[in-house]
Amino acid sequence: MAKKPEEANVSYSENRRRPRLVDRQFQLGLAWRMMFVFFLFFLLGIVVLFAPSMYVLATSRDLSVVEPAAREFLVLHRRVWPAVLLVFGGVFAYTLVFSHRIAGPIHRINAILRGMLNGKYPEKITLRRRDFFRTTAELIESLSRKLAQETKKTESYSGETPGPVRE
């Protein structure tokens, strides 16, 4: 049994779907943008990290100075690249997981709005526990209740069942 939500009438989903990309274009686009920005910061960090060794290697001819700089450069090279691959993979995966908390509610809200245009007014909007846009879901629930009441009033006056809203 799900816990009672702290916010208004937004309920939690009992049926846990398996993880997937809800809005592939948005989620992958966000992940790639994050990776691009992260890569720019990474390049700046690499320049700062390797610059002293590179400067010594480029400007010095004395082997007693060049040899320690070359060793330091090779040690950094062996340690940095595996860590970089791990961090890039982790950031990409986290961005996909995090964006699921945004794309999922947007997908759900869009489906509910399409249903409302077709005359279906849900009483509750179900979002997962950690999803964003809870206040938006509450507003849509209120709108749905109000439209359902107005529809019932209209039906009682005219005796007709209204069809879907035309654009």
Q: Quick one: three-class SS letters along 17-82? A: CCCCCCCHHHHHHHHHHHHHHHHHHHHHHHHHHHHHHHHHHHHCCCHHHHHHHHHHHHHHHHHHHH
- pLDDT at position 155, please? 79
Beta-carbon contacts of 51 under 8 Å, excluding residues fewer than 6 positions away, are none
Q: Does residue 26 contact residue 96 with C-beta atoms inside 8 Å?
A: no
Per-residue pLDDT tens for 72-119? 888 888 888 888 888 888 888 888 888 888 888 998 999 999 999 998
- pLDDT at position 1, please? 47
Looking from the CA of 110 toward its CB, the CA atoms found within 13 Å total 8
CA angle 43, 49, 55 (to 5 degrees): 105
Question: What are the phi and psi torsion angles at 152 (to 5°)?
Answer: -65, -40
Q: What is the distance, to the nearest Å, from the Cα of residue 58 to the centroid of all Cα atoms in its chain?
A: 44
pTM of the predicted model as reported, rounded to 2 decimal places: 0.58
